[in-house]
Amino acid sequence: MRNLCEKEQYEAGIKRVLITKEEIDAAIVRAGKMIDGLYDGRPILLVSILKGAFVFMADLCRAVSVPCEIGFMCAKSYYQGTVSSGVVKITMDLEQDISQFHVVIVEDIIDTGRTLNDIINMLKVRNPLSLHVVALLDKPSRRLVDFKADLALFTIPDHFVIGYGLDCAEYYRNLPYIAEYSEEEA
Ligand code: IMP
Ligand code: MG
């Protein structure tokens, strides 16, 4: 695996831009309007799944105009390079009692579907007023458990992607666009 601390190797990891910042911005404006329409003035709790969804959450919460509270949960999917081990661990739970809320889960990407499936099962038993899932990206060809988001902004092919919150070995989260990651050594 390449050493991403080295500038040349870091830059070689960015193969090509898949989704531009402008495309993301426009899709988030549309998603905000859909959320406003769905909840029609009722307050919601937006729950971001850390770390990957932190950038998406920051933009999406400013695109909705219903009253909204923000919450965070941290789920860690263990990776060896770009390959998921299938182990999902909740390392930080929500502080809110969700039985008082219409909950919208805000996730970066649905890949195998395991993370969201586990999180949804965990949250359902806490009896939220309602529970919906908004994902920035969806890779349906990789699904291992039957899971569908209520809203996915972009459907992408089976590429490992980086940027706009998504990482490879914790790097690239700060890229303003979504790019395909290159496995080839520089
Ligand atoms: P799952 O396989 O649907 O459980 O996906 C779990 C998590 O793996 C996602 O929330 C992401 O944080 C991460 N992940 C999946 N695919 C990618 C990718 O292409 N790039 C970066 N992270 C990914
Ligand atoms: Mg994630």
Q: Summarize pLDDT for 63-85 with one digit per residue, the tens.
A: 999 999 999 999 887 767 777 77
Pick the catalytic residue from 111, 138, 150, 167: 111
Calculate how far, in angstroms, residue 106's C-alpha sits from the geometric centre of ligand 2: 9
What contacts 143, CB < 8 A, 6 or more positions away? 110, 111, 112, 113
Radius of gyration for the chain, computed over Cα atoms and rounded to the nearest angstrom: 16
Question: Rounded to the nearest 5°, which phi and psi values hold at 31?
Answer: -65, -40
pLDDT given for residue 89 in this prediction: 84
Question: Candidates 78, 111, 171: which one to mutate for ligand 1, based on the most atoms within 8 Å of Cβ?
Answer: 111
Q: How far is the CA of 110 from the centre of ligand 1 (A)?
A: 6
The answer to whether the CB of 137 is under 6 A from ligand 1 is no
Question: Ligand 1 center to residue 136 CA distance, Å?
Answer: 11
Beta carbon of 156 within 6 Å of any ligand 1 atom: no
Which whole number is the average pLDDT over 18-41?
97
Closest CA to 31 of 144, 111, 133, 109: 133
Query: Tens digits of per-residue pLDDT, 94-153?
Result: 999 999 999 999 999 999 999 999 999 999 999 999 999 999 999 999 999 999 999 999
Q: Nearest C-alpha to atom 5 of ligand 1 is from which residue?
A: 111
Catalytic site residue 111?
A: yes
Q: What is the pLDDT of residue 75?
A: 87
Stated pTM of the model? 0.94
Q: Would you place residue 184 in the very low, low, confident or very high pLDDT band (cuts 50, 70, 90)?
A: confident
Whole-number average pLDDT of the chain: 94
pLDDT at 83: 76
Q: What is the 3-state secondary structure (H, E, C) of 51-99?
A: CCCHHHHHHHHCCCCCCEEEEEEEEEEEEECCEEEEEEEEEECCCCCHH
Residue reference for tokens 């329409």 = 37
The yes-or-no verdict on residue 44 having pLDDT over 80 is yes
Q: What are phi and psi of 28, to 5 degrees?
A: -70, -35
